[in-house]
Structure 1
C-alpha cells in the first residue's frame, strides 16, 4: 500500500508546479535570512538618524533574532495543527507587512517593535519551509531540495551586507526594509498559487499554551544571557542564565504531564534525532567562530583595510551559496547518513587548518582553510536536515523543522558569546580593537583549536548515533 506522503510527492514530481513550489519555498528562506544580515550594515546609520547609542540600535537585530528563536518551535507545531499552507501564507504576509512598517517607522522603538513582528513572520517561514519539502519532493530528491534551501539561506546571508550598503547609500535606511515588500508579495503570490492544499484530516492532539509560553520565556532568557553585554558576562547575564535553567526544568515537567505536549519528550530517545540536533548546535557554534574571529584577525592580525576585509569575509558565504546544490545532489547519490560524517570530517579539517595555516601562509592560509571548512558545512547541513526530515510523520513535520532551526539558532547564539570569550581569553587582551597582531594571531590559533575539538565531539556523537541506529 502506498503511503499518502509518497503519493503526493510523486504526483508533485510529475507536474511542473513542483518547481514553482520550490521557488516559493526558496524565496521564503532567502527573505528570512536576508532579514538578519541586511539590518546589521544599517546600524551605524540608524544610530545617527535616531540619535541613539549602539546598545539601543542593536535591538533592531536582537528583536528579530529573539522572535525567531523563541517562537520557531511553537509556530512549527501550530502549522501541524491548523495547516501548514494557511500558516505559511500568514507568515509571508506578516513578514511583508512588518517590513513596510519598519521602513515607515518614525521612532527607534516603533522600528524595534516592527522588527519583532517581522521576526515572527520569519519564524513561520523558516519552520514551515523545511516541513513542506516532505510533501512536495520525492524521498530520493530530498537532499537536493535541502541543498537548494541551504544555498538560498547562504545567498541571503552573503547578499545582505553589500545590498544593504548600496540601498542605504542610494535611497536611505528605509530601503533596507522596504526592499522586502515587493519580494514578499512575489513570494506570497507563488505560495498562494502553487503550495499544496492543507489536508482535511483530523489532527491528533491540541495546542499546548503553557509549554509554549514556558519554552518562549526560557529561550528568550538564554538568548539574552548570551547576547547582552557584548562579550562581558555580568550579574544580569548570570541571572538570565539561571532563569533559563529553571525554565528548562519547568518545561520538561509540564511536557511530561500534559496530554498534548508542544514537544513529545519521548522523541529524544531516538538516538538519530538527538544526535542530529546536538551536532547541529556544535556545527553552528563553529561556523559562528568564523564570523566572530575572522574580521579581527584580518584587520588586526594581517593589517588589511576594511574594504579588503569585506571581500575576504564574503568568500565563505559565496562558497556556501555555490556548494549548497552540489552538496544536496551528493547526499541523494551516496546517502545522508554517510555524508553527515564526511561533512563533519571536512569541518574538523577546516578548523585545524584555520588554527595552523594562517600562521604559516598568512591570508592565503586563511582563505584555503575557509575553502575546506565551508563546503563541509553545506554538506553537513543538507545531509543532517535530510536525516531528520526524511521519515517524519506528516503531523510532526512542522515541530521537527522548528527543532532543527532552533538548534541552529542556539548554536549561533552560543557561538557568538562563548567563541568570542575564548578568542578574547586566548588573545590575552580586554580590547580586541587595539590588540597587537601577535595577540590576535594567538587568539585565532586557540579559538580554532577549540573549534576542531568541538567538531571531534560532533563526529563522535554522529558515529555513536549512527551505530545505535544501525
Structure 2
C-alpha cells in the first residue's frame, strides 16, 4: 500500500490546525512567566500587613520575600537540567501544579513560619516555570520567530513585576493579605490546563544521549548560591563569612564538575564566547537596572521632594515601558539579528546612564523620567536579543540548563545590584543615614551611582564586541 502524500490543500489545513495550538501553548508559557514574576512583586507590598497580622518584626516578614527568591536562585539551573533529563513538559506541568498548590498553602497559612515554608515551595515551582518556559520556546515556535516569542515572555515578566504592587494593594484592602497569594490559584489552574492540552509532548531521547543527574554538583551549587544570596541580602556581620563560603563552594563545584561523568554544567560550555559573554553581560546589566529601584525612591522623595504617590507612579514607568517594549524588541531582533541588537540595546543603556550621571536636580522629574525610559527600552532590547542569541542555537538536550543559567545570571545581577549599588549610593552621598541626607547629597549620590552604572554598561559593551569578534572568527556570525 502506497503512503498517502498530502497535497497543498491538506498541508495548509494541517498548518492552520497547528497554529491555534501553538498560540495556546505560547499562552500557557506566557501565563507561567507572568505568575512567576507576580509572585515576587505582589508579596513586597504585603510585608507591612503581614508584620501586623503575625505580630512580627520587619526583619522576620522579609523572609516571605527572601525564601521565594532564594529558592529560585539556588535551584533554577538544577531544575533546568532535570527538565533536559526527564522531559520538559512533564516537569513544567509538575512545576505549575506545585506553584499553584503552594499559592493555596500560602493563603491558608496559620503562622508566619508555615507561610515562609510555603513561599519556599512556591519558589521551587517558580524556578521550574522560569527555567522551562524559555527552554520550551524552541519547541513551540519556528527558529525565525524565537526573538518574538522570547520578547513576549519578557513582556509578561515586566507586566507581572509592574502589576504586583497595585494589584496587591487592591487585594489587601478589599480581601486581606491572603488574597495576594490566593489570586494565583485560579490563574495557575488555567496555566496548568493550557500547558497540559497544548504543550508538545516530550521527545524520547536515548538514555546514552541524555546522561545522568549530578546530585553532588547540584548540592554544591545550591549551597554556594544560597551563601552568596544571603550575603548580599542579609548582612548583619555575616556577609564576609558567607562570601568566603560562597568562594570555597564555587571552587569545589568547578573541581567536581571537571570530574563527574554527567556534570550539572559542562565546563566546556564556557569556552563558547557567545554563551560566556552573554551570561556576563546579563549579570552586569541586571546590576545596573537594580540601581533604578535602589536609588530611584530616595532621589525622587528626598532629592526632588515628591510625595509617595508620585514616587510610586514614577517608579512604575520602568516596568510599564519594559512591558510595551519587550515584544517589539523580539521582532526587531528577529529582523535585524540578535547579536547586532544586543549591542544597540547596550549603547542605548550607556547613553541613558550618562544622562543620569550628568543630571542636575534643578531640571526636575521630567529630566529623570526621560533617561529612565531610554534606559528601560535599551534594557528590554538587550535582554530579549541576548536571550535570543543564546537560545536560538542551543541543542535540544541542553535548552533547560542553558535557560536556567541565563535566568541565574540575571538574578545574581539583581541581588548584587541591590547590595553593591546601594552601597555606592550611600558612600557617594557622604552620610550615615540616607533618610536624613540633604537633597544635594542625595542628588550627588545618584549621579555617582549612575556613573558607576555607566562603567558597568561600558564593560558589557566591550564584552559584546569582543565575543562577537571571536564568534565571527569561528564562523558563527555573519
Question: 1:469 & 1:302 partners in 2: Cα distance?
Answer: 46
CA shift for structure 1 position 13 = 9.5
Distance 1:268 1:465, change over 3 A: same
SS of structure 2 residue aligned to 1:15:
helix
Candidates 126, 147, 154, aligned match of 2:151: 147
1:184 aligns with 2:188: yes
2:103 paired with 1:99: yes
Aligned mates of 2:362, 2:344 — CA distance in 1: 26
Give the distance between the partners of 1:200 and 1:265, measured in 2 at CA.
26
Question: In structure 2, which of residues 58, 69, 73 is the aligned counterpart of residue 69 of structure 1?
Answer: 73
Matching residue within 398, 415, 420 for 1:396:
398
SS of the residue corresponding to residue 106 of structure 1 reads coil
State the Cα distance separating 1:244 from its structure 2 match.
Answer: 0.1
TM-superposed CA distance for 1:14, in Å, is 4.8
Residue 327 (structure 2) aligns with:
325
Deviations 1:374-396 (A, max 9, x none): 11001001100001101111000
Residues of 1 paired with 2:360 and 2:111: CA distance? 45
- Asked whether the 8 Å contact 1:12–1:137 carries over to 2, the reply is no
* Aligned equivalent of 1:138, options 139, 142, 158: 142
Contact 1:208-1:262 at 8 Å conserved across structures: yes
Q: Which is worse superposed, 197-206 or 287-296?
A: 197-206
Residues 279, 458 of structure 1: 8 Å contact kept:
yes
SS at match of 2:19: coil
Q: Does 1:460 align with 2:457?
A: no
**Counterpart residue number, 1:3:** none
Distance 1:372 1:181 in 2: 36
C-alpha distance in 2 between matches for 1:12 and 1:329:
22
SS in 2 for 1:235: coil
Please report how far the alpha carbon of residue 359 of structure 1 lies from its aligned counterpart in structure 2 after TM superposition. Answer: 3.0
Q: How does 1:22-61 map to 2 (within 5 A)?
A: 22-61=26-65
**Counterparts of 1:81 and 1:246 in 2: how far apart (Å)?**
28
Contact 2:72 2:123 in 1 (8 A): yes
* Gap regions ≥5 residues in structure 2: 1-13, 473-478
Q: Contact 2:304/2:361 (CA < 8 Å) preserved in 1?
A: no
* Shift of residue 201, structure 1, vs aligned partner: 2.2
Q: Which runs of 4+ in 1 moved over 4 A?
A: 10-14
Deviation at 1:11, TM superposition (A): 6.5
**1:226·1:417 contact (CA, 8 Å) conserved in 2?**
yes
User: In structure 1, what is the Cα distance between the partners aligned to 2:217 and 2:264?
Assistant: 6
Q: 1:431 deviation in Å? A: 1.3
Cα gap change, 1:111 to 1:49, in 2 (>3 Å): same
Match of 1:386 in 2: 388
Matched, 1:304 2:268: no
Summarize deviations over 1:421-446 as a string: whole Å, max 9, x none: 00000011121111111110000000
Structure 2 length as normaliser, TM-score? 0.94
- Offset at 1:360? 5.1
TM-score (norm 1): 0.96
Equivalences for 1:2-401 in 2 at 5 Å?
A: 14-203=18-207, 204-229=210-235, 235-359=237-361, 361-401=363-403
Task: Number of aligned residue pairs: give it.
Answer: 457
